[in-house]
Structure 1
Amino acid sequence: MIIEHRDFHVKGVSYKIRPAVRGDAKKLSELRLQIDGETENMDREQGEGFIDEAGFERIIENDANHPRNLFLVADCDGRLIGYSRCQGYDLKRFSHKVVYGLGVLMDFWGYAIGKNLMIESIAWADSIGIKKIVLEGVLETNEKAIDMYKKLGFEIEGTMKKDKLLSDGKYYTSYIMSRFND
């Protein structure tokens, strides 16, 4: 299902949320690399699991052709400032759910970009009959994100103790959070 782009104006910043297109691949590769280096809330350190332009082209094409995948970008005057992705399953027993991930450039935190990416993804999921959206590995210290997820109907389903080793040499708990739409 193709979704239309939506325009947002928050605290003087204008951006649109739209489906990723093949022409976004190079920018997405650079964006993901930058976001991974800005925060330890992501699963990767900068450069780990690097996806180049061709890799993103394949992901975008696959997602465009998969009925239970959605890849969105937040676009501010042609500059990509955030992304989100729902990845569904081909297995029948898991066809009711998607795994969700998102990232937003640190300079654009506080402008509801992550929240609006999630709201658009939830609306899409609800419209096609997806019952469950799963967030894997939400870092315990990412309190703003956890609060946002809870306000959008997500709950903590599982706790993974000592799940992530961060730069301070300490282990941190992460959560599996999900939203189930009856």
Structure 2
Amino acid sequence: MIIKKQEFYVNGIHYTIRSAVEKDAKDLSELRIHIDGETENLDREKGEALIDIPGFAQMIKTDTENRRNLFLVAVVHDRIVGFSRCEGNDLNRFSHKIEFGVCVLKDFWGYGIGKNLLKEAIFWADSNGIKKITLNVLETNDRAIKLYRKLGFEIEGILKKDRIFSDGKYYNTIIMGRFNE
């Protein structure tokens, strides 16, 4: 699905949130590798589960054509600095919900990019009859958990010792959901 482009000016930075287009595939492939190496908040370590340019191009095409999918990018000075995806399920029993994921370059944290990507996704979901948005978040990502709660998400469960990091310690994943009645 495609949304109308939105402009933001936060803390001295101007950025745009828009639907991903096929020509973004190269930048997205490179960006994802970079972001995966910046934080342990995401599922992957740098270089894992690579998505190449044709892979991103196909994902963008699929998400554009599917009314229950949404692929957004955040752009600063013609450079993609973050993206989010909402992915629905083709099974009828799950057709009311989507799963949300987001990532933003660390240099651009603190400008509301992740928050505005999520707010755009929520608006799109609510406007298109999607009743539930789910997401997973690392238990130590306090900023994200606080934001999600502020935007109406509730903790639905905890996956104990779900991830192991380079320090050899296990961490929990928190499952959160937002239901729009």
Report the TM-score range of the alignment, normalised by the length of the smaller protein. Answer: over 0.9
Task: Please list every run of 5 or more consecutive structure 2 residues that lacks an aligned counterpart in the other structure.
Answer: none
State, as a whole percentage, how many aligned pairs show the same letter. 62
Distance 1:167 1:117 in 2: 29
Alpha-carbon deviation of 1:168? 1.1
Alignment of 1:85-104 (within 5 A): 85-104=85-104
Which residue is 1:18 aligned to?
A: 18
Which residue is 1:76 aligned to?
A: 76
Which residue is 1:146 aligned to?
A: 145
> Is the partner of 2:44 in helix, strand or coil?
coil
Distance 1:38 1:123 in 2: 29
Distance 2:146 2:166 in 1: 24
2:142 corresponds to which letter in structure 1? E
Task: Please list every run of 5 or more consecutive structure 1 residues that lacks an aligned counterpart in the other structure.
Answer: none
Alpha-carbon deviation of 1:2? 2.4
Distance 2:149 2:173 in 1: 15
2:39 corresponds to which letter in structure 1? T
1:57 corresponds to which letter in structure 2? A
**TM-score of the aligned structures, taking structure 2 as reference length:** 0.99
Which residue is 1:109 aligned to?
A: 109
Distance 2:99 2:142 in 1: 20
Distance 1:162 1:15 in 2: 37
Alpha-carbon deviation of 1:77? 1.4
Which residue is 1:129 aligned to?
A: 129
Distance 2:52 2:120 in 1: 26
Following TM superposition, the consecutive aligned residue runs of length 4 or more in structure 1 with deviations greater than 6 angstroms are none
1:124 corresponds to which letter in structure 2? W
Distance 1:147 1:4 in 2: 27
Distance 1:13 1:167 in 2: 34
Superposition RMSD in Å = 0.6
> Is the partner of 1:144 in helix, strand or coil?
helix
1:135 corresponds to which letter in structure 2? L
Which residue is 2:179 aligned to?
A: 180
The C-alpha deviation readout for 1:8-56, integer Å capped at 9, x for no partner, is 0000011000000000000000111111000000000011000010100
Which residue is 1:49 aligned to?
A: 49
